[in-house]
Amino acid sequence: MIGRLNHVAIAVPDLKAAAARYAGGLGADVGAPIELPEHGVRVIFVTLPNTKIELMEPLGPGSPIAGFLEKSPAGGMHHVCYEVEDILAARDRLVATGARVLGDGTPKTGAHGTPVLFLHPKDFDGCLIEIEQV
């Protein structure tokens, strides 16, 4: 069921500064900012040969990323995203095995314009998992 690693997401307090570090010091291919009000974040994707890094900052104080940054003001790894072919079949299989889907279980549209769901970190060794249909 699980496909390739789509991206690793890093919460940052300053998206513009983080993007400059990746573009400057690391010489990475850094995309343009994308606002995702439904998720409460602004993101930039850094394209690597084998995957992507998603840099994320909160859109406002009610953002889940704002809460994350309160606990970790310097930022840090927020989640990993794996690709799946059929998000509803993946959700049903995960729920049947005891995994908890965050929210109401209805996929939302992610930054790539495709359906995504998040899985509870307590069910995956402390790591927040995003699954994305491709």
Q: Active-site residues: which are they?
A: 130
Contact assessment for residue 79 and residue 130, using Cβ atoms and an 8 Å cutoff: yes
Contact assessment for residue 8 and residue 71, using Cβ atoms and an 8 Å cutoff: no
What token pair was written down for 65? Answer: 């990323």
Q: Determine what percent of the chain falls in helix, strand and coil, rounding each to the nearest 5.
A: 25, 35, 40
Three-state DSSP at 71 gives: helix
